[in-house]
Amino acid sequence: MAMTWSFSGITTFAHLKHVKCLTTPSEKFDIAIVGAPFDTATSYRPGINPYASWATIIDCGDIPITPFDNAVALEQMSEAFVELGSRSAPLGETGKGKGKGKGRPKLITLGGDHSLALPALRALKKVYGREVRVVHFDAHLDTWHPAKYPSAWPSTQSHFNHGSMFWLAGQEGLLSNSSSASNIHAGLRTRLSGTDPSDFVDDSSQNWLRISADDIDDLGGPAGVIAAIMDQFDLNDPDPDPVYLSIDIDVLDPAFAPGTGTPEPGGWTTRELIRILRGLVDVLNVVGADVVEVSPAYQGRGEETALAAAQVVYEVLTGMVKRGLKDGSSEEKVKGGVDKAHDEL
């Protein structure tokens, strides 16, 4: 077999097998890495090697998305997420839930801008047949009414942008709106759009709990943030809510992730975010995730933003695999590849 250099050929996430999944319906996978190259709506975990555990993990490549028409792009992403999310997983979906969606794979989407969360949530509602809970890591709310983005010529396309997609998701009935099952923002340090707190009032009316970046100090560090998030979930529920994890890289301080479109000083460190994710992902019923808003054009030669984003994806992926092992619903097929995880990226 000929030797293949890591810098040649198709570059995949973590050197995973590359398959054009949308045009290869026979391909089976438990977790897919999906590329969503769309940004025209913008204004070491120890113990296991996730790639050698029970899950079949592949890189599904990019969704074909037009850069010329946001309405068409939204439909393209929605259809792609439904198609991929509706496939059968080889070993079955790993959550404890017994409802619709059991046996479906999980998708981790690499953006692109944050607007891709809307088509992802549309697909999850269709696949799971129920509203989804969102844990949203971001400097910004992203629950703004589209009219708060001023436009003399408003349109359906202009309403779909990277600051309004969760408002749109709420209007479409994709998100849980139970007072006892709120969605969560974490890492906020957003500026308000006006001279009063109406942004927060609107956000609260959409049933979101806000954890600011500064709260990490008042809550006693990452453990306190984890506890505040976990307080919103019933961990004894035999049919837990499906959770979508949405991570805008600008939740990190620009010192750690300058390569993003809307950097905000005063954010969390990469270490803090990783610690928080480790406390959540293998506990919650995470059925999908995204890591978005990485913009290489604003990144220096150190590539710290890309490194941070890749590590965040790795932490989410590892948590999903560990959740499957914990539930006992996925047969273990570890090949002796333990304690090598740090070398896999």
Per the DSSP assignment, residues forming a β-bridge with 292 are 248
Report which residue type is found at 311. Answer: Q
Instruction: Give the per-residue SS3 of 219-285.
Output: CCCHHHHHHHHHCCCCCCCCCCCCEEEEEEHHHECCCCCCCCCCCCCCCECHHHHHHHHHCCCCCCC
Greatest C-alpha distance within the chain: 65
Q: 187 with 213: CB under 8 angstroms?
A: yes
Q: 54 with 47: CB under 8 angstroms?
A: no
The annotation places the binding site at: 114, 138, 140, 142, 248, 250
Residues 6+ apart with CB under 8 A from 17: 58, 59
Q: 341 with 45: CB under 8 angstroms?
A: yes
Q: How many CB atoms lie within 10 A of CB 198?
A: 13
Report which residue type is found at 244. Answer: Y
SS3 188: strand
The annotation places the binding site for Mn(2+) at: 114, 138, 140, 142, 248, 250
User: For 61, left (φ over 0), alpha (ψ -120 to 50), or beta?
Assistant: left
Q: 84 with 33: CB under 8 angstroms?
A: no
Radius of gyration of the chain (CA): 19
Q: Which helix (H) or strand (E) element contains residue 35?
A: strand 31-36
